[in-house]
Amino acid sequence: MRRFLLCLILVSPALADTVTLRDRTVIEGKVTSNTDTEVVINTYNSSLPAMTFGVKKFDKSQVAQVVITPPDPLREYWEKTNAARPDHATLMKFCVANKLDVEAREEALQVLASNSSDAEARGLLGADVDKILKASPISNGELRPKIVDYGALDDAMRKTTYEGWKTTYGVTLPKQYFDRVARSLAQPKGLQEDVRLTWNTKKSSGKYSIWVPDDYDPHRAYPLLIGLHGAVNGLGGVGNGKDFIKHFVIESPKWGCIVICPTAEPLPWTGHPDEYMLSMVSEAQLLYNVDMNRVYMIGHSRGGMGTWSYGPAYAERWAAFAPAAGSGGGNALKAHQSGCGMYIYHSEDDPRVGVGDDRGAAQVLQKQKADFIYTEYRDAQHGWPREVIDDTLAYFKRHHLMKKGAKGPEPVHGTRSSFAEPLWPDELLYFPNVPEGKGGNDLASLCAAIELGGSKSVKAANQLIEKKDKSVVPTLSKTLLTPASNEDARMQAARVLGTFKEASAAGSLVRALNDKSLLVRKAAADALATAGEKKDALSIAAALEALGKEFDKDLKKLDIQPWEDYQYVNASYVAAMAALGEARVAGLVETIAIKKVLLATDLPKFSSGYDPELVRKKAALVILDALPGFKEPKLKPAIAPIKAKFSADTEVQNRASAAEGKM
């Protein structure tokens, strides 16, 4: 029997504990209690006390044997190295003791970076130790500072400098490693919210929030945690990247990982092409040194559904993933077969997303003796308890990328720096090797940057606005009116065109009022407020009529983002028409902009915790400020229903009274 039990332990990817009963029944899982009177084992590997599903309790008299599986040395090493400031000397000795040869050499290099005479570390690197130290920017104190100056060079000088390093220091890392380090040195640390995507914006667009350790070193490869928010994250606040990331920066400074939380616009995650999320992950790996063997994904609610979608689909990219309060675990077996770890959480009484899918996935994984944890609470509803988040992150720290082996998944040893990867397709298009603030400032280059969309588009638009050169109008008009152009590109083109009092610019902006994107229509209306003429207000009025019909059609199925976009574009239409001083559109402003859209009733049931009135109030304030601009007394009565809607809001009441006074 003992040999049989040992065999189970060795082949089980989950490294399960076992309880053998006197009737020879063998139960695998996580032993959470083993006292003189009782043995408790969780058959779904969870160790949290609130987990009751799958928990089995036995009187000690029923138990023949309990085998607690010792920690796997490699997993123990992964956990130890996932620290903000790893103790490399201790880790090196641990690797030597446990015959982790690849890891021991990596730790030896880190030790020698601070103590080049350490005998044990030198012995691990062998006869070529001095050659290795000289070629490595981690340990070569002369080479490392030169990389800072390298970032100020143009690409031609970089190539010359790099060839010199190969000769002088024996550098073996590829040139793109140093280009990426130079780029990374210019990136901010700490928390950045709502960063516009730069990478791959010809195919995708969006924004994300990111946290980078304050002591980030571009020569060290860091774990990367990707967080996918829900419609409401269950912990307070509407689901978006900048709210969701706050639940991980509590732990990440102790972990020393990089965290990126994209924002899905509109929801849900599964409504986007996969490139939407993957592009943001790739951007983090291009801007910061990420260990490609330690990339993790976690999501709650709709983010849990997104995690169930992206996790198995791209299991070869993740060390582990963790859906919480989501659904869609039908491909769990595929992820298991790739060796990807899974931590699944749900609550039995979840009123929004049923527990059935996650239970079913856990049962499949249990039968396969997979590397997973399933934690189920009884009474947490759609929340996400802090101890579950912490337990999930602890699970991640014990996991590393796996690869296909002769007898199943095998661990990938060592560190795989994203900076040492081959040059990515189009990398130099989005991140050219140009010193910060130099090059690419001519009109053609700036217009091309706008076409890329994302953060480059915003910066280029700002520069074009400063230049005030009307010769760019035809190029930007083409960008604005090309449906295949990136949404960011069309919005920024509209913004620049709005700075020119030019008939052709206004004509393009009028045509953009029919764009498929509500945000582009808003940008066009905002631009027409300054670039248009009085006659253009009639075109905006026609766009308002069309908007009202769309709103009627979509109202019952609106989710958070379309609701907000409708309110914002509606308010922009009113403000633009008022700025152009066209009183003949007053009737449409009252019946459509105010009564139909702003004061819409019978709203759909938005996600729990979302207050649609916050956006409605913002739109109301814009409209109230605009109404006097029409110079039409007939619009004064239209203020009354706005005041009634916001009868308890002092700010709206004061702004409404001010508008009435001006009319």
Both 332 and 376 in one domain: the answer is: yes
Separation of alpha carbons 306 and 329, rounded Å: 11
Residue 501 has pLDDT above 50, yes or no: yes
Burial class of residue 3 (count of CB atoms within 10 Å of its CB; 0-12, 13-18, 19+): exposed
Q: For residue range 582-605, what is the model confidence (pLDDT) as tens digits?
A: 999 999 999 999 999 999 998 887
Residue 428 lies in a domain: no
Asked which of 496, 515, 532 is the last residue of a domain, the reply is: 532
CA proximity to 641, closest of 604, 570, 589, 603: 589
Both 227 and 357 in one domain: the answer is: yes
Separation of alpha carbons 629 and 593, rounded Å: 15
Sheet with 320-324: strands ordered across: 190-196, 207-212, 258-263, 222-228, 290-300, 320-324, 341-347, 372-377
Total number of residues shown for the chain: 663
Domain with 6, as residue range(s), is 2-67
Residue 268 has pLDDT above 90, yes or no: no
Residue 9 has pLDDT above 50, yes or no: no
pLDDT at 593: 97
pTM of this prediction? 0.87
- Which spans in 57-187 are helix H? 73-81, 88-97, 101-114, 119-125, 129-135, 143-150, 155-169, 175-185
Q: For residue range 428-464, what is the model confidence (pLDDT) as tens digits?
A: 999 999 876 566 678 999 999 999 988 889 999 999 9
Tokens of 577: 């028409």
Residue 74 lies in a domain: no
Compute the average pLDDT of residues 125-140: 95
Compute the average pLDDT of residues 626-643: 95
pLDDT at 84: 85
Q: For residue range 286-341, what is the model confidence (pLDDT) as tens digits?
A: 999 999 999 999 999 989 999 999 999 999 999 999 999 999 888 999 999 999 99
The pLDDT confidence band at residue 558, using thresholds 50, 70 and 90, is confident
Separation of alpha carbons 359 and 535, rounded Å: 62
Both 543 and 494 in one domain: the answer is: no
Asked which of 487, 504, 532 is the last residue of a domain, the reply is: 532
pLDDT at 158: 96
- Helix then strand then coil, in percent of the chain rounded to 5, is 55, 15, 30
Q: Give CA separation, 418 vs 104, 290, 376, in Å.
A: 21, 5, 36
Compute the average pLDDT of residues 568-590: 95
Residue 75 lies in a domain: no
Residue 123 lies in a domain: yes
Both 256 and 179 in one domain: the answer is: no
Residue 500 lies in a domain: yes
Residue 425 lies in a domain: no
pLDDT at 625: 97
Per the listing, tokens 């990331």 go with 245
Both 486 and 635 in one domain: the answer is: no
Compute the average pLDDT of residues 123-129: 96
Both 336 and 469 in one domain: the answer is: no
Compute the average pLDDT of residues 157-179: 97
Residue 72 lies in a domain: no
Both 203 and 170 in one domain: the answer is: no
Residue 1 has pLDDT above 70, yes or no: no
Separation of alpha carbons 521 and 490, rounded Å: 10
Q: What is the mean pLDDT of the chain?
A: 91
Residue 110 lies in a domain: yes
pLDDT at 540: 97
Residue 606 has pLDDT above 80, yes or no: no
Separation of alpha carbons 503 and 517, rounded Å: 23
Q: Is 565:609 a contact under the CB 8 Å cutoff?
A: no
Q: Is 69:7 a contact under the CB 8 Å cutoff?
A: no
Q: What is the CATH number of the domain that holds 466?
A: 1.25.10.10
Phi-psi region of 196 (alpha: psi -120 to 50; beta: other; left: phi over 0): beta
pLDDT at 3: 33
Separation of alpha carbons 417 and 437, rounded Å: 27
pLDDT at 205: 84
pLDDT at 14: 54
Per the listing, tokens 């006869």 go with 127
Both 237 and 384 in one domain: the answer is: yes
Asked which of 532, 563, 596 is the last residue of a domain, the reply is: 532
DSSP reduced 3-state for 544:
helix
Higher pLDDT, 556 or 498: 498
pLDDT at 20: 96
Give the Cβ contact number of residue 463 at 10 Å: 16
Q: Is 313:455 a contact under the CB 8 Å cutoff?
A: no
Both 572 and 511 in one domain: the answer is: no
pLDDT at 186: 92
Q: For residue range 59-100, what is the model confidence (pLDDT) as tens digits?
A: 999 999 999 999 899 999 999 998 888 999 999 999 999 999
Handedness of CA 231, 240, 547, 643 (dihedral sign): positive
CA proximity to 244, closest of 228, 265, 225: 228
Q: What is the CATH number of the domain that holds 284?
A: 3.40.50.1820
Give the Cβ contact number of residue 117 at 10 Å: 7
pLDDT at 204: 85
Q: How many domains does the chain have?
A: 5
Compute the average pLDDT of residues 352-377: 95
Higher pLDDT, 609 or 550: 550
Let me know the angle formed at the C-alpha of 409 by 403 and 415, rounded to the nearest 5 degrees. Answer: 40
Both 567 and 476 in one domain: the answer is: no
Q: What is the CATH number of the domain that holds 32?
A: 2.30.30
Separation of alpha carbons 429 and 97, rounded Å: 47
Q: What is the DSSP letter of 389?
A: H
Q: Is 65:24 a contact under the CB 8 Å cutoff?
A: no
Q: What is the DSSP letter of 197?
A: P
Both 234 and 354 in one domain: the answer is: yes
